[in-house]
Amino acid sequence: MDRPYVKVTVTEKGERALRNRHPWVYGEEVTGADGAYENGGIVDVYSQKGRWLGAGFVNDASKIRVRIISRNANDRFDGAFWERRLRYAVDYRRAVMGDDFSCCRLVFGEADGLPGLTVDRFEDVLVAQCMCLGMEKLKDGLYLKLVDIMYELGIKISAVYERNDAALREKEGMEQGKGFALGSGDGHVLITENGIKYDVDYINGQKTGFFLDQKYNRLAVAKLAKGRRVLDCFTHTGAFGLNCAAHCAEKVTSVDISAEALECAKRNAGLNGLDVEYVREDIFGLLTRMAEEKRRDYDLIILDPPAFTKSGATLKGAERGYKEINMKAMKLLPRGGYLATCSCSHFMTDELFRATLRSAAMDADVSLRQIEARHQGPDHPVAWDVPETDYLKFYIFQVV
């Protein structure tokens, strides 16, 4: 039986990428199509020699022209197909997250075969973001099915909220916006992570309202905090500092430039009865001043900055930024102090981040003793076929 989809042909470069199982075909890799298609629809992808390479969502408005959804020529892209994908994603999280299944990422885009779709679970609220036009056309049915799957597990979801207020949607030919896809609520939900309570503002908070990917990294750092003076930089909603305070740190100072973030962090500290000092200041300026004053106020420093680069074009500037904050933090620590540092940018590869840290240590005239090298939590799985899913690099060092 002939497949009903338009045939799109790709260059040899595009073919190599697909045969290496990367799921994206870029616009410059498409050489032609044998008919008219609708953006957001499904096309078949072929090599120059007529070999079928897969089927995927097509979008002429996107730099990524085709996002592969299947390499099985027998697949039918009906409701049962998408239900299987959702069930695989949920079953995986139940297996790897265990007791932490109540707050985790349920769907992680390409890593789950659901391109461009992110769904985070915060207790009985699901917060979604869609960055693929093909998924945009299916999302309402997917949300309903996901709620049904959770109900089968004895979990009643009260609301699905969309955070489609990201500029990237415009590059995909979609409008920005946010709102309830299902149910309703006041925009706040109380969660517990690592035994600490947080008020998650899923309407106005960053991304989906809370960064779940650092869950176990926070715990790893907190284990070093007992009796130590902790400087938590780029604290956002306060999570690293609160974990350290809960593990009996002598003192915790959490810093952020955002007044709104600090107010949220203070509320979270109050929820848990934890004593944390909150400071509103630019981290670069703070570390510079403290380094110039040769202060040694802290023996555990945490650097959890936002992504300094979201493209290869700004990578050099990002390298300088990462080097600067890490070098100054290393200078501020006494001999034997501890540094936890990370990068959440895919473009800052692990190799490049390690080189940047090594250079910072040389300029700070210190040595680094690696305690742990970590990544994002397992609910944000790294698909080895898709390097873009491997984005979070997290290191804990003793500075000697």
Over residues 342-374, the pLDDT tens digits come to 999 888 999 999 999 999 999 999 999 999 999
DSSP helix/strand/coil, 338: strand
Question: What is the rounded average pLDDT of the residues 228-253?
Answer: 97
Tell me which residue of 202, 212, 132 sits closest to 174, measured CA to CA. Answer: 132
Q: How confident is the model at residue 320 (pLDDT cuts 50, 70, 90)?
A: very high
Q: How many CB atoms lie within 10 A of CB 223?
A: 13
Question: What is the rounded average pLDDT of the residues 23-41?
Answer: 96
pLDDT computed for residue 382 by the predictor: 97
DSSP helix/strand/coil, 99: helix
Q: How many CB atoms lie within 10 A of CB 137?
A: 15
List, by residue number, the catalytic residues.
Answer: 344
Angle at CA of residue 379, ends 198 and 129, nearest 5°? 75
Q: How confident is the model at residue 1 (pLDDT cuts 50, 70, 90)?
A: very low
What's the gap between Cα 389 and its chain centre?
8
Lowest mean pLDDT among 124-138, 282-296, 320-334, 349-363: 282-296
What are 156's two structure tokens?
Answer: 């009643």
pLDDT computed for residue 2 by the predictor: 58
Q: What are phi and psi of 64, to 5 degrees?
A: -90, 100
Pairing mode, if any, of strands 177-183 and 159-164? antiparallel
Beta strands in the chain (DSSP E): 6-10, 24-26, 30-33, 42-46, 52-58, 64-70, 103-108, 117-122, 125-130, 159-164, 177-183, 188-193, 196-201, 229-233, 251-256, 277-280, 300-303, 337-343, 368-374, 393-399
DSSP helix/strand/coil, 93: helix
Q: How many CA atoms lie within 13 A of 48 on its CB side?
A: 8
Mean pLDDT of the chain: 96
Q: What are phi and psi of 252, to 5 degrees?
A: -130, 125
Over residues 59-82, the pLDDT tens digits come to 999 999 999 999 999 999 999 999
pLDDT computed for residue 317 by the predictor: 87
User: How much is the pTM?
Assistant: 0.94
Is residue 243's pLDDT more than 90? Answer: yes
